[in-house]
Amino acid sequence: MEGRTDLPDTAPGLNSNPKEAIPLTSTLPSTSASTLVDAPAPATVASAAKPTTIDEYVAAPAEPLATVVGLLRDTFDLGLPETSTELWHGHPVWLDDDQPVAGFKAYPTFVTVLFWRGQAITDDSGKLNASGLAEMSEYKLRSVDDFDSDLFDDWLQQVRELEAA
């Protein structure tokens, strides 16, 4: 350090030649086999099984998303009565003639609602967002407070009309 004359050029015990090895010693006490404790092996955590049914999928999220997922399932079942449902790429999807029309996917902090032809839906609320390729749109819910039943009824009515055309 410039201006300080009270500091040595090197730290005590260190060689000023950078090419020479610096001896390292451990400050930890040595451990012998007699001092080791027979501890049980750590428990393995079973990975969460992926749902294989829509019922399992709906039962999986914690609150507040559990209520959101249940509400969406009921709303889609009632609003899209002519469709079939299945787990498609791991999340619930409602299909018309084996073509996906709507679905949702739960994440740790929100649920995304998907409409495959959502960009063709008239959305005066501005809540549907274009997503991915083609005509898909999405809407994210973080709690039941984000659910507007009149809005969903309108969106699902439009989905039915699009699929009937």
Is the residue at 150 inside a domain? yes
* 88 CB-side CA count, 13 A: 16
Question: What pLDDT is stored for residue 131 in this prediction?
Answer: 87
Joined together, the tokens standing for residue 6 give 């009270």
Token digits of residue 20: 């020479």
- Judge whether 121 lies within some domain: yes
Judge whether 61 lies within some domain.
no
- Length of the chain, in residues: 165
Which pLDDT score is estimated for 134? Answer: 78
Range of the domain at 91: 84-164
Query: What is the pLDDT at residue 133?
Result: 73
Report how far residue 76's alpha carbon sits from residue 65's, in angstroms, rounded to the nearest whole number.
16
Residue 92 within a domain:
yes
Q: Is residue 115 part of a domain?
A: yes
Q: Is 128 within a domain? A: yes
Domain count along the chain: 1
CB 74 within 8 A of CB 59: no
Residue 141 lies in a domain: yes
Q: What is the pLDDT of residue 58?
A: 93
**Residues of the chain falling short of pLDDT 70:** 1-48
- Which pLDDT score, from 0 to 100, does residue 99 have? 94
